[in-house]
Amino acid sequence: MYTFCREDYERRMTWYCQARFGMFIHWGLYAIPARGEWVRSVEQMPKEDYMRYFEAFDPVDYDPARWARAARKAGMQYVVLTAKHHDGFCLFDSQYTDFKSTNTRLGRDIVADFVQAVRAEGLKVGLYFSLLDWYHEDYPHCGDRNHPMRNHPEYGNEHRNFDRYLDFMHAQVRELCTNYGKLDLLWFDFSYDDLRGEAWRASELADMVRTLQPGIILNNRLEVSGEGYGSLAACSPTPYHGDFVSPEQMIPPNGIQDAPGRDLVWEACVTMNRSWGYHATDRFFKPAPMLIKKLVECVSKGGNLLLNVGPDARGNIPPESLERLAEIGRWMDKNSASIYGCGKAGIEKPDYGRVTRNGNRLYFHVYENTLGPLPLLGVRREDIRSIRYLATGAEIPISTSWVHSDYPQIVFADLGLDPVLPDQTDTVIEVELKKEGSETL
């Protein structure tokens, strides 16, 4: 049985903490009603009504190579696809159900296609798998908080066998861990009420996954949902502990720490609009500059950002999402060194932006210009080797202006006479220190 080892844990987390930026893809039958991935639960839709989407599923523009290419060009380093969401529809060729993509008009193993496409772009491969299954007859129906038939006594649970469901669920996870080559990340979703931890036979499940996929990274949702930190944070890791914490639709105010106060690995999963699955009338898209700044915020607090796209019923990532990915990519082309491998800077957040750090390099993310020279708080003049614009490599001199003579203990950077920043979203200034151990104030 798997037991926690700090050294092994830190080794397998190396690439993940280096990557910092990934793509989430929510796709399935729910793209057809186009009202979000929870549509069957929200509308308490009977299985018979939902099956019409199974019969209609025919994404004529489906091309996972385009998805993977969009992720790489945006600067993302890993991609996570919903192999099975709560509705139970499998995007892979499971031998344990007929409710799968190979039985639709598409007739394709979407996971197999996805894994090949993501690997071809040099990205890490992740799969999402729902612990819930609203299609399976042995999953609790009436009275369950989330099941579409929760308020229908005629769908009682008297003859349902949850152990039989768990056998089925474990068998499907085994398929994913056996049939698609190396997986870098498995993203379980989610635990709630009494269904958490060993209710899922989680020790057995996690041990199987780690045996079949050595070095794989697991999130913490065998224990918790988008809220809660899990057993690793409590410093008493279970055999099914999460390798990272997975806050949803928010960025923790101060990063996330364990019980003694040590930083934990975490990843904020965030939608571009308000919906995970495709939603035809959800136009509340976050602007690309905001998303760039949220990525920087995650990194500055020691976390990752997993940014979602929801392809439509034809298989296309919405144009609003593609536009934002392209703009993020243009920024990342010039500034990715301030993201990859970076983390907390160990200095106070400046009024004008944020700071990330990688070894002896500090990256000051400047969102708004100051009046006069720019203060580089937390840095000593004698420790500085160079100051440059990251995007161009152009040197920035240390200011000698009289205007800041009252603050001799602070280093000021001379950005010149133009009050408009070169990049009005985020101008990144790289401060190279003489040695990695240089002190910050």
pLDDT digits (tens, 9 = 90+) for 195-225: 999 999 999 999 999 999 999 999 999 999 9
Summarised one tens digit per residue, pLDDT across range 10-54 is: 999 999 999 999 999 999 999 999 999 999 999 999 999 999 999
Q: What is the C-alpha to C-alpha distance for residues 342 and 332, in angstroms, rounded to an integer?
A: 14
Are 253 and 227 spatial neighbours (Cβ–Cβ below 8 Å)? no
111-131 pLDDT, tens digit per residue, is 999 999 999 999 999 999 999
pLDDT attached to residue 63: 98
pLDDT value, residue 118: 98
State the SS3 of the chain. CCCCCHHHHHHHCHHHHHHCEEEEECCCHHHCCCECCCHHHHCCCCHHHHHHHHHHCCCCCCCHHHHHHHHHHCCCCEEEEEEECCCCCECCCCCCCCCEHHHCCCCCCHHHHHHHHHHHCCCEEEEEEECCCCCCCCCCCCCCCCCCCCCCHHHCCCCCCHHHHHHHHHHHHHHHHHHCCCCCEEEEECCECCECHHHHCHHHHHHHHHHHCCCCEEECCCCCCCCCCCCCCCCCCCCCCCCEECCECCCCECECECCCCCECCEEEEECCCCCCCCECCCCCCCCHHHHHHHHHHHHHCCEEEEEEECCCCCCCCCHHHHHHHHHHHHHHHHHHHHCCCCEECCCCCCCCEEEEEECCEEEEEECCCCCCCEEECCCCHHHEEEEEECCCCCECCECCCHHHCCCCCCEEECCCCCCCCCCCCCEEEEEEECCCCCCCC
Pairing of β 303-309 and β 266-270: parallel
Q: In the numeric block, which tokens belong to residue 16?
A: 């993940």
* Residue ranges in the chain modelled with pLDDT below 70: 436-441
Using DSSP bridges, classify how beta strands 353-358 and 343-344 pair: parallel, antiparallel or unpaired.
antiparallel
For residue 217, the cross-strand partners are 185
CA of residue 125 relative to chain centroid, distance:
12
pTM: 0.97
191 vs 7, 127, 145, 197, 223, CA distance in Å? 28, 17, 12, 8, 6
Q: Quick count: other Cβ atoms within 10 Å of Cβ 321?
A: 23
pLDDT at site 437: 56
Phi, psi of 234 (to 5 degrees): -80, 0
Other beta carbons within 10 angstroms of residue 200's beta carbon come to: 21
- Cα–Cα distance for residue pair 91/57, rounded to 1 Å: 12
Q: How is residue 110 written in tokens?
A: 């979407």
- pLDDT at position 436: 65
And the tokens for 413? 């950077």
Distance of alpha carbon 118 from its chain centroid, rounded?
Answer: 16
Domains of the chain, with CATH numbers? Answer: 6-341 (3.20.20.80), 345-433 (2.60.40.1180)
Q: Which residues contact 131 (CB under 8 A, 6 or more apart)?
A: 169, 188, 189, 190, 191, 195, 200, 221, 222
* Predicted pLDDT at 52: 98
CA-based R_g, the chain, Å: 24
- What pLDDT does residue 435 have? 80
